[in-house]
Copies of this chain bind each other. A is one copy, B any other.
């Protein structure tokens, strides 16, 4: 039940984030819808294929596709009239990351995966949709941009979710707190541009090639 709500919300916000990125690329209207759809279902589809869950969530229930159509339409209409708030995209993306990371971790948990695999599955589920969106629209994937704490936020959220449950915290509460960690870290990264230590190889002059 809680899982379904997470899933529906995550699909909606990622559809909006996909539509906004596509809008910057001067796609035609249906192209925007396709990018919105792929962004919204990419992470959950990756999760379902890896865990052999069939039918895949959006095939089992077409409501996800209607949510995508509605969200993309809303994003298009809104930005027709109003200047798109610069940060709306980042906020939608952070929420989608949080929702799918924890839903991916929960489903991996229910499939009996080990702790480390639960964390990786959560991260993949959260990040895959945005990565596919960025690759298709030839943006540098957000996961790679400096000072974004992107994969890090997903990993930290999934770890907190697991640790809290290990410490006896209620599952729904642990999920909410895990999501809060993801969103907070992303916001901290965006607002204060705080970064993790960066790993740089010695030959930095290579980059100049």
Stretch at the interface among A1-9, A99-107, A142-150, A167-175: A142-150
- Name the B residues within 8 Å of A191 (CB-CB): none
Given A29-B196, A146-B26, A117:B201 Cβ within 8 A: no
Residues in A152-207 with C-beta less than 8 Å from chain B: 152, 155, 195-203, 206-207
- B123-A24 in contact (CB<8A): no
Do B27 and A144 touch (CB < 8 A)? yes
* A59 lies within 8 A of B51 (CB): yes
A10-18, A31-39, A90-98: which lies at the B interface? A31-39
Would A201 and B123 be within 8 Å (CB), given that A114-B62, A151-B31, A195-B28 are in contact?
no
Q: How many residues of A contact B (CB 8 A)?
A: 70
- In the complex, the count of this chain's copies comes to 3
> Quick one: closest B residue to A156, CB to CB?
B30
Given A27-B198, A120-B65, A144-B136, verify A54-B56 contact (CB < 8 Å). Answer: no
Please, how many angstroms separate the alpha-carbon atoms of A34 and B121 in the complex? 11
| Contact, CB under 8 Å: A203 / B84 | yes
Residues of B within 8 Å of A27, CB to CB, are 144, 146, 198-199
A-B contact pairs, 19 of them (CB 8 A): A26-B146, A26-B198, A27-B198, A28-B146, A28-B197, A29-B198, A30-B155, A31-B151, A34-B143, A50-B56, A50-B59, A52-B54, A62-B114, A62-B116, A76-B199, A84-B201, A136-B144, A138-B140, A138-B141
The 7 closest A-B pairs by CB, nearest first: A28-B196, A62-B114, A30-B152, A52-B54, A23-B201, A34-B151, A65-B116
